[in-house]
């Protein structure tokens, strides 16, 4: 390998130099930074879980011993399992902050984006439960920057209903200043809106029955002006039609200023506008529609509003679907509070790295290439073509 490639791995290992060692002092044959870098590389190459990580490492022993400090050779599966099972997920994730910040800056510059959309959404690992030990399936909440192809943070919780407490913790883990945060109705809470505004960001929050009074007031306001064809208010509209998965889909967006007489306006910090997004599509010969309502701290500007809603709708395809179908996350039987959360985070990191690589190959093919070609694997880690 070239000197530049060798330096890349050592630079990555440096991100973990200050990570507190979780293992017993009598079992430290393998440096912690090297163990973590190998785990990242193995997951990029298609490994799922400690056993597969160790098998990959053994197959690549000559390469790894040349590129990383491994005085006692490559670790066995118990080493990877112990490290991932002992590391505090929040502390572990924090070690990636510098790496993710550098990736984010490069992506923002490449995409020419001034105000990125950060979408907060939850996902359940359906087979990660352990009934014998009273462990329910892991439900994690993560921040996905779809335009950048980056997962910026994740926090685990026991159930979807716990998202209300998990979201504030998650938003504290990352720098959201200057971004636009989108969240489903579960996270439409006054305290969360306040936290976002105080962090110098804006929000676009979905509105449903969990905020019944606000929902009813906004719906009444929208219906009133809809009947008047928005003649008496400075509303903005946009229509987007495109073909997705072989079917045509039309999305209608309307964005208008929040009414000053809204009863609970003062309770929602920064609230400036409301919006409605309607999705029209055909499936199996039948026509369907999906209407969603939103509140936002953004001033009226339908293009930005539509972009935020569209990016949030895209989480399922650009992130969750890939994690389930390519990383087989929904089939994972990794159990244990810490190890399953740390493993889920490494999957999101790997997806982010694969999306940064400029090649046109699919994510699935890129993972295969990482397993076959050490040169390609180093390209993915560096975010470049060599």
Per-domain boundaries in the chain: 207-300
Higher-pLDDT residue of 42 and 131 is 42
Binned at pLDDT 50, 70 and 90, residue 135 comes out as low
Question: What's the pLDDT score for residue 334?
Answer: 78
Question: What's the pLDDT score for residue 305?
Answer: 98
Question: What's the pLDDT score for residue 335?
Answer: 74
Q: Which CATH class is domain 207-300?
A: alpha beta
Question: What's the pLDDT score for residue 61?
Answer: 97
Which range among 19-28, 149-158, 242-251, 255-264 shows the weakest confidence by mean pLDDT?
Answer: 242-251
Percentage of the chain modeled with pLDDT above 90: 72
Question: What's the pLDDT score for residue 127?
Answer: 61
Question: What's the pLDDT score for residue 125?
Answer: 74
* Helix runs in the chain, H state only: 3-14, 32-44, 50-59, 61-67, 77-86, 89-94, 97-111, 163-173, 190-198, 212-227, 302-313, 315, 321-325, 337-356, 363-372, 374-382
Question: What's the pLDDT score for residue 189?
Answer: 95
- Residue 376 pLDDT > 80, yes or no? yes
Question: What's the pLDDT score for residue 137?
Answer: 66
| Mean pLDDT value across residues 245-253 | 84
- Residue 47 pLDDT > 70, yes or no? yes
- Residue 385 pLDDT > 70, yes or no? no
| Mean pLDDT value across residues 355-364 | 94
| Mean pLDDT value across residues 306-328 | 92
Which range among 59-68, 151-160, 353-362 shows the weakest confidence by mean pLDDT?
Answer: 151-160
Question: What's the pLDDT score for residue 132?
Answer: 64
Instruction: Output the furthest CA–CA distance in the chain (Å, rounded).
Output: 76
Higher-pLDDT residue of 66 and 139 is 66
- CB atoms under 10 Å from CB of 111, counted, come to 13
Higher-pLDDT residue of 128 and 1 is 128
Question: What's the pLDDT score for residue 73?
Answer: 96
- Residue 5 pLDDT > 50, yes or no? no
* Residues 6 or more apart whose Cβ sits within 8 Å of residue 367: 44, 45, 46, 326, 350, 354
Question: What's the pLDDT score for residue 2?
Answer: 46
Burial call 50-85: b when 16+ CB within 10 Å, e when fewer: bebbbebbeebeebbbebbebeeebbebebbbbbbb
Question: What's the pLDDT score for residue 357?
Answer: 93
Averaged confidence pLDDT in the chain: 90
d(CA 200, CA 337): 33
Helix axes 374-382, 3-14, angle to 10 degrees: 50
Pairing of strands 286-296, 273-283: antiparallel
Question: What's the pLDDT score for residue 235?
Answer: 95
Binned at pLDDT 50, 70 and 90, residue 7 comes out as very low
Question: What's the pLDDT score for residue 245?
Answer: 65
| Mean pLDDT value across residues 177-189 | 95
Which range among 39-43, 132-136, 382-386 shows the weakest confidence by mean pLDDT?
Answer: 132-136
């Amino acid at each position: 390998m070239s000197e530049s490639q060798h330096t890349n791995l050592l630079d990555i290992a440096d991100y973990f130099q200050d990570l507190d060692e979780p293992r017993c002092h009598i079992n430290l044959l393998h440096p912690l930074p090297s163990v973590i870098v190998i785990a990242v590389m193995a997951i990029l190459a298609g490994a799922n879980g400690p056993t597969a990580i160790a098998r990959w490492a053994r197959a690549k022993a000559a390469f790894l011993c040349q590129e990383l400090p491994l005085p006692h050779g490559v670790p066995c599966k118990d080493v990877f399992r112990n490290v991932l099972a002992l590391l505090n997920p929040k502390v572990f994730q924090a070690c990636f902050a510098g790496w993710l910040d550098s990736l984010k800056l490069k992506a923002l510059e490449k995409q020419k984006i001034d105000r990125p959309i950060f979408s907060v959404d939850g996902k359940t690992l359906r087979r990660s439960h352990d009934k014998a030990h009273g462990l329910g399936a892991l439900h994690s909440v993560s921040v996905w920057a779809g335009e950048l192809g980056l997962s910026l943070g994740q926090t685990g919780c026991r159930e979807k209903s716990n998202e209300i407490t998990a979201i504030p913790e998650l938003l504290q883990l990352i720098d959201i200043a200057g971004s636009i945060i989108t969240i489903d109705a579960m996270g439409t809470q006054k305290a969360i809106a306040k936290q976002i505004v105080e962090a110098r960001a804006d929000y676009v929050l979905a509105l449903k029955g969990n905020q019944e009074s606000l929902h009813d007031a906004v719906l009444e306001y929208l219906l009133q002006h809809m009947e008047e064809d928005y003649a008496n208010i400075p509303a903005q509209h946009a229509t987007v039609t495109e073909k997705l998965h072989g079917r045509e889909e039309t999305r209608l967006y309307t964005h208008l200023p929040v009414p000053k007489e809204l009863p609970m306006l003062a309770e929602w910090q920064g609230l400036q506008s409301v919006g409605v997004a309607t999705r029209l599509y055909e499936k199996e010969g039948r026509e369907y529609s999906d209407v969603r309502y939103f509140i936002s701290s953004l001033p009226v500007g339908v293009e930005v509003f539509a972009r935020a809603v569209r990016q949030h709708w895209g989480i399922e395809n650009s992130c969750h679907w890939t994690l389930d179908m390519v990383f087989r996350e929904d089939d994972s039987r990794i159990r244990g509070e810490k190890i399953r959360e740390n493993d889920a985070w490494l999957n999101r990191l790997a997806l982010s790295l694969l999306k940064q690589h400029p090649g046109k190959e699919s994510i699935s093919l890129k993972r295969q290439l990482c397993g076959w070609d050490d040169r390609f694997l180093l390209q993915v880690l560096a975010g470049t073509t060599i």
